Amino acid sequence: MRILRVLTNKKAEFIDITAAVAGAVSEKATTFGLCCIFCPHTTAALTINENADPSVTRDILTYLEEAIPAGNSFSHQEGNSDAHIKSSLFGNSLTVVIEDGQLKLGTWQGIYFCEFDVPRKRQVYVKTIDSDSRACSAEDLSRRG
Amino acid sequence: MRILRVLTNKKAEFIDITAAVAGAVSEKATTFGLCCIFCPHTTAALTINENADPSVTRDILTYLEEAIPAGNSFSHQEGNSDAHIKSSLFGNSLTVVIEDGQLKLGTWQGIYFCEFDVPRKRQVYVKTIDSDSRACSAEDLSRRG
Amino acid sequence: MRILRVLTNKKAEFIDITAAVAGAVSEKATTFGLCCIFCPHTTAALTINENADPSVTRDILTYLEEAIPAGNSFSHQEGNSDAHIKSSLFGNSLTVVIEDGQLKLGTWQGIYFCEFDVPRKRQVYVKTIDSDSRACSAEDLSRRG
């Protein structure tokens, strides 16, 4: 597993971590398989969305701010229940296919770390699983034996 | 990895792709493992929900249309920011268990491709990972050796 | 695959299943890999959020109840369309990294089964995948041969 460090700068912000995730996949030399990307925080999330026009993520953040405003109507004393709600709505784990050693994303897709609370040091876990293991199934072993 | 082709017909629509995903799993002959289903688009999504009564997916679409209407209040010039928001809320990747060569879904569950933008040709990636690989662990190899 | 039994008690409730999932991982003796947690129901979901202060999950439930109230404005005759919507928003599958035989969760994270319909007997599927299988790649086999 590789741990990425993410430094956030605002109360609510999307940070493109696509290149960092791709770097972690390259290090592991997984040619075919799955990449699991996990956010170990409860007031942040991960999402995949457009990385061409920055107005898209800006519109998503504007929507979330209006739909789930931070405020005093929640019982949790820390005052960041809105961030916890956004975290559960967007989710903490993503699974992306790896083909030919590359993350198999769509043309316009980027992987984003979503900060919903205050700026701070965050982490993202990246774990790859090989699907090449079929090359050494029990059947293959007996054939080779 | 298997690529499924999905042709959508409406601005907002759920298309049941369960049989197509199950077909891709059969082709791969994965008996035990995981199936990752991935949507490589940023204005569409994947979800699992009831496939018995079609009024369920209709109600979900009605809710989304009311909660996040398409419109001019967004900055993204293409005018489909609502679709990008719905994509992040529903998510792009699903992971389903494979047992005895079958997708291990609940009784009432179907896998849906969710179109949130305009009708077009879409794709879905299906990738299976075997968990049988434990059958040839290093320990087994030395024992066989 | 391990099936966990979950007995829910209320219309809307979050039940912490972290210890049960961790127990299933221990049984399988997966040291490094992925754990997929899957909810086979269409009016329930799974989420990861704070397990320290119970006011957090209470606030999330309060938000959901206000944002998506149960009611008669839906076409689905069973009257639980709100639960189906919440299920798709929160999602049915989670993927968590396993390191050193442990679920690699963040400090404040717990895994929750989310009941959105009426109290009943529910199930959760837990499936682990080893990433140690690389130890017996085709290359290793030929070297050993």
Q: Alpha-carbon distance B86 to B13, whole Å?
A: 12
ipTM of model: 0.90
C107-135 pLDDT, tens digit per residue, is: 999 999 999 999 999 999 999 999 864 44
Judge whether residue A25 has pLDDT over 60. yes
* Interface membership of B52 toward A (CB under 8 Å): no
Within a 13 Å sphere around the CA of B137, how many CA atoms are in the beta-carbon half? 12
One-letter amino acid identity for A111?
I
User: Sign of torsion, CA A43 B109 C122 C74?
Assistant: positive
* Interface membership of C60 toward A (CB under 8 Å): yes
Q: Alpha-carbon distance A51 to B66, whole Å?
A: 26
More confident position, C137 or C29: C29
Rounded percentage of chain B residues whose pLDDT exceeds 90: 80
- Between positions 78 and 107 of A, the ones with CB within 8 A of B are 89-91, 94-97, 99, 104-107
pLDDT band at C18; cut points 50, 70, 90 = very high
pLDDT band at A38; cut points 50, 70, 90 = very high
Give partners of B (≥3 CB pairs < 8 A). A, C
Q: Which of C1, C81, C144 has the CB atom closest to B56's CB atom?
A: C81
Q: Alpha-carbon distance B15 to C92, whole Å?
A: 18
Cβ neighbours around B110 below 10 Å, total: 21
Angle at A86 (CA atoms; ends A83, A90), nearest 5 degrees: 140
pLDDT band at A4; cut points 50, 70, 90 = very high
Chain A residue numbers touching C94 (CB-CB < 8 A) = 92-93
Give the distance from residue B109's alpha carbon to the nearest chain A alpha carbon, in angstroms.
20
Cβ of B53 and C76 within 8 Å? yes
CATH of residue A46:
2.60.120.460
Give the total number of structural domains in chain C: 1
Q: Alpha-carbon distance A32 to C107, whole Å?
A: 31
Q: For the stretch C79-117, what's the b/e string if a residue is b when 16 or more beta carbons lie within 10 angstroms of its beta carbon? A: ebbbbbbbbbbbbbbbbbbbeeeebbbbebbbbbbbbbb
Chain C residue numbers touching B68 (CB-CB < 8 A) = none
pLDDT for the residue numbered C29? 85
More confident position, C71 or B130: B130
Helix (H) / strand (E) containing A19: helix A18-28
**If you average pLDDT over residues C89-103, what whole number do you get?**
97
Q: Report the chain A residue with the minimal C-alpha distance to residue C37.
A: A93
Q: Which of C49, C53, C134 has the CB atom closest to A130's CB atom?
A: C134
Whole-prediction pTM: 0.91
Cβ of C84 and B129 within 8 Å? no
DSSP H helices, C44-97, are: 55-67, 81-90
- The rounded mean pLDDT for chain C is 90
Q: Residue C105: which domain range?
A: 2-144
The distance from CA A127 to its chain's CA centroid, rounded to whole angstroms, is 11
pLDDT band at C30; cut points 50, 70, 90 = confident
pLDDT for the residue numbered B99? 96
Chain A residue numbers touching C34 (CB-CB < 8 A) = 34, 36, 127, 129
Q: Report the chain C residue with the minimal C-alpha distance to residue B142.
A: C144
The values of phi and psi at residue A56, to 5°, are -65, -55
